[in-house]
Amino acid sequence: MKIILEPQHVFVELGDPRFPRARMWRGHTERGVEICALVLYIATRFDSDIAELERELAEVAPDPLASREHAAVAATLGQPAKASS
């Protein structure tokens, strides 16, 4: 299975001190099934320069549909709907 994800300008508060929040990513499988993923952590090789990745994530623009989707994800997780930047 392959998935294609794009980061959203939405974070979900998880309520766990080890992983306080996750970034919401939206995308689809290679067969077209739409998905939403909550990404806690992204790792790179130790010798990689992650500056470009950090810049790209910082450039993610707010998505007007993300707040509605965030509320649905938060409800599924039993969390209050609260987006943060």
User: Would 44 be classed as within a structural domain?
Assistant: yes
> Looking at the 3D structure of the chain, how many domains does it have?
1
Q: How confident is the model at residue 63 (pLDDT cuts 50, 70, 90)?
A: low
Which residues share a beta bridge with 34? 28
Query: Domain span at residue 13?
Result: 3-77
User: Would 12 be classed as within a structural domain?
Assistant: yes
User: Would 82 be classed as within a structural domain?
Assistant: no
Q: What is the mean pLDDT of residues 37-45?
A: 87
- Tell me the whole-structure pTM to 2 decimals: 0.65
pLDDT at 28 over 60: yes
User: Would 22 be classed as within a structural domain?
Assistant: yes
Q: How confident is the model at residue 85 (pLDDT cuts 50, 70, 90)?
A: very low
